[in-house]
Amino acid sequence: MKLIARATIILFVLISFSIPLSYGINENGDILVIAGDKNYPPYEFLDDDGEYRGFNVDLMRAIAIEMGVEIKLLPMDWLEVHRALQDGEIDAVQGMNFNKQRKEFFDFSTPYLLNSSVFFVRTEDEKVLNSNDFKGKIVAVQRSDSAAYILAEIGEIEVMFVSDLEDAFDKLNNQKIDAVFGNRLTGIYILNKLQLKNNIKIMGEEINQVDYGIAVRKGNTVLLKDINEALERLKKNGTYSKIYEKWFGKEAYFIWEERKYYVYGIIGTIVLAIVIFGVSVKWNNDLKAEVNKRTEELYLINQELDISRNIIKESDKFKEQIIDSLSIGLITFDNSGGITAFNQRAEKIFELNRDDCVGRTFQELGLDKFFNIEHINYCIQEEKGLNIEETIFNLKGEKYYYNYLISPLYIGHSKNSGGVLTFRNITEEKTIRNALSQKDKMQSLGRMIAGLAHEIRNPLTSIKTYLEILPIKYDNPKFREKITVQVPQEITRLDNLLTDLLDYAKPKKNHYEEFSITPIIDQTISLLESSINKKNIEVIKKYTSEFVTYGDIQMLKQILINILLNSIEAIELEGKIGISVYEVKDSVYIDIEDDGLGIDNECIDKIFEPFYTTKENGTGLGLSICYQQIKGLGGDIIISSKKGIGTKVSLILNNGKG
């Protein structure tokens, strides 16, 4: 009925109006320069041999013969075609959709095609009658085609994006999808090419119909008149039909059965309209106004669609440029683990070509040597992200450290469509971090030496005293009993102290495990006991239970030593250091609070910056290293302080492996 109504309106417009046409002029008798898109099959495209072919190419050459002129055909990028015609670098564009915006800059020939989008279904499918019947079904569209937006307006249709319509028709023919939605004439051309015209048919009405023809510069009336006359002659002598059938085939078999009743209805409506027109001038005037209104609406819709298509095309290019400009590697994958994108950085790292990667899995490309496939599957199945802090890539016989982040991708607001994996080389970063950490450890060790000297001297003094009086009291049984007990104890005490000291100073690889926090705190306090006693500081332990975390014991011990040394140095003489351990949800908190000098407000925001210090002999690395280390343990550090009152440091760790 929409086609019938449309035909009625067109009929009345044609009968009611006599529209004088004014066309442009080409005043040079030289070779006409005609441009077109270089990648728009079957209308116009460069084939594998670099030959410019297509429906528009053949038609333009036939028009040139009819006009008796020579032409030069230029295949160009589509956006460049528009500019070239406006700037007068070319005489005409051999094929362009009509819309209101373009008519402000160009004049158009008599349209020789009507472009539209349609649904293609299998021939045996009789259940689908209109676009609403595709709700809940799988419909394929070509990626970056505006057809997807039309389906979105219909709603509730599951859209599958494919690289081209050949792939879509193959899936439809093999019953992997329910329908294909795309350009009608392009679809007919591909079906003929694939010899599927008996297996697949067009179903339902055409959507988004728009006229298509030749465009010339505004005001070039002579050239436009010659083109229209030549085009009319080609239609009358049958040349146009032969060119059409060459590229699109005969459509009668394809759509007559489903459209013959529309045709009969249109013919009947035309006859009825002629009769009504003769007796109803007023109705005709009202109808003219309605036609103008509807035409304006159609122009606006076509203009918006054309702008949207250009925006999408430019947006896709812009996104690709952004992804390729990243200094990190980026790979995206779909729900089945197949790779969908591969940026230039990833190509360089793995020495792969992105065109060979798209559509293949990580295992097929050998990337499972670098990325844990269980992490990929976890992202797909659980729709959750993962941050792998450190892994090793063996590339060209060399070992490099990388970290990578996997995040889920969504269509709209809910449907998971796969994931994105980003990765970067942290080898240099790790080397610098390890060097700074070791340097800070050595500096902390130096700060402990003064206090440890007293701890070492005490057992040595006891041993020396026993040895000096040994010749005198050797025969005394009580003396022999004491020396056999106390001397080994002092030696063990000295050995434990030196073992802890060497264990702390020795460079080690990070070793992550699950361990109890409170014994590490007690060991650290014991290691610093001499410095604590020297200033008569009272350490208040506010923990009783065992709290478990997952991380590196030596790293946590170094963090505690740095913070406790800062607290000891902040207390001039006689003070308190409180240590609390408690759980909040999935985290364990270690609070270390002293009543020392405190930190100025203007300094508190800078204390984690490398080499920032307020101490006369400080390096400014201690808290900076602590911050990096606590982050390496998957935790956080918060410091609050008031000048003259004291400082509170909160270490936040995870409570076990989780």
The pLDDT tens digits for 29-46 are 579 999 998 878 889 989
Joined together, the tokens standing for residue 459 give 């057992």
Do 277 and 12 meet the contact criterion of CB atoms below 8 Å apart?
A: yes
**For residues 220 and 216, what is the distance between their CA atoms, to the nearest angstrom?**
7
Judged on CB neighbours under 10 Å (0-12, 13-18, 19+), 379 is: buried
**For residues 360 and 306, what is the distance between their CA atoms, to the nearest angstrom?**
34
User: What average pLDDT does this structure show over 500-513?
Assistant: 60
* Torsion angle (degrees, nearest 10) of CA 516, 550, 658, 430: 170
Output the pLDDT for position 295. Answer: 85
- Asked if residue 209 has pLDDT above 60, the reply is yes
Output the pLDDT for position 54. Answer: 93
Query: Which helix H or strand E contains 410, and what residues bound it?
Result: strand 398-411
Judged on CB neighbours under 10 Å (0-12, 13-18, 19+), 301 is: middle
Q: Which of 385, 504, 392, 491 is nearest to 437 (CA)?
A: 504
Least confident of 281-285, 318-322, 490-494: 490-494
- Asked if residue 8 has pLDDT above 80, the reply is no
The per-residue b/e assignment along 394-415, b for 16 or more CB within 10 angstroms, e otherwise, is: eeeeeebbbbbebeebeeeeee
Q: What length does the chain have?
A: 658
pTM of the model: 0.35
Average pLDDT, the chain: 80
Do 419 and 379 meet the contact criterion of CB atoms below 8 Å apart?
A: yes
**For residues 197 and 192, what is the distance between their CA atoms, to the nearest angstrom?**
6
Output the pLDDT for position 232. Answer: 95
User: What average pLDDT does this structure show over 245-256?
Assistant: 61
DSSP code of 361? B
- Compare 146 and 582 and report the one with higher pLDDT: 582
Joined together, the tokens standing for residue 191 give 């079906």
Which positions ≥6 away from 350 have C-beta within 8 Å?
365, 367, 370
pLDDT single digits (tens) 124-180: 888 777 778 888 889 999 875 667 778 888 888 898 998 778 899 999 999 999 999
pLDDT single digits (tens) 329-384: 899 999 888 998 898 888 889 988 888 888 899 999 888 889 988 888 988 888 88
Joined together, the tokens standing for residue 525 give 């306090």
> Bridge-partner residues for 654, per DSSP?
587
Output the pLDDT for position 26. Answer: 44
- Asked if residue 199 has pLDDT above 50, the reply is yes
User: What average pLDDT does this structure show over 418-435?
Assistant: 82
User: What average pLDDT does this structure show over 242-253?
Assistant: 74
Output the pLDDT for position 497. Answer: 60
**For residues 64 and 51, what is the distance between their CA atoms, to the nearest angstrom?**
19
Do 355 and 394 meet the contact criterion of CB atoms below 8 Å apart?
A: no
Give the full edge-to-edge strand order of the sheet including 646-654.
537-542, 575-584, 587-594, 646-654, 636-642
Judged on CB neighbours under 10 Å (0-12, 13-18, 19+), 25 is: middle
What are the structural domains of the chain? 113-212 (3.40.190.10), 326-425 (3.30.450.20), 431-654 (3.30.565.10)
Do 306 and 97 meet the contact criterion of CB atoms below 8 Å apart?
A: yes
Do 406 and 370 meet the contact criterion of CB atoms below 8 Å apart?
A: no
Judged on CB neighbours under 10 Å (0-12, 13-18, 19+), 232 is: middle
User: What average pLDDT does this structure show over 228-247?
Assistant: 93
User: What average pLDDT does this structure show over 11-27?
Assistant: 37
pLDDT single digits (tens) 95-134: 998 888 889 999 999 999 988 889 999 998 887 777 788 8
* Amino acid (one-letter) located at 604: I
Give the pairing type, strands 113-122 and 179-183: antiparallel
Least confident of 3-12, 90-99, 546-555: 3-12
Q: Which of 323, 365, 312 is nearest to 142 (CA)?
A: 312
> Bridge-partner residues for 106, per DSSP?
217
The per-residue b/e assignment along 136-161, b for 16 or more CB within 10 angstroms, e otherwise, is: eeebbbbeebbbbebbeeeeebbeee
**For residues 528 and 449, what is the distance between their CA atoms, to the nearest angstrom?**
10
Output the pLDDT for position 90. Answer: 95
- Compare 36 and 618 and report the one with higher pLDDT: 36
Q: Is the dihedral of CA 167, 172, 173, 174 positive or negative?
A: positive
Q: How many CA atoms lie within 13 A of 392 on its CB side?
A: 5
Output the pLDDT for position 150. Answer: 81
- Compare 264 and 322 and report the one with higher pLDDT: 322
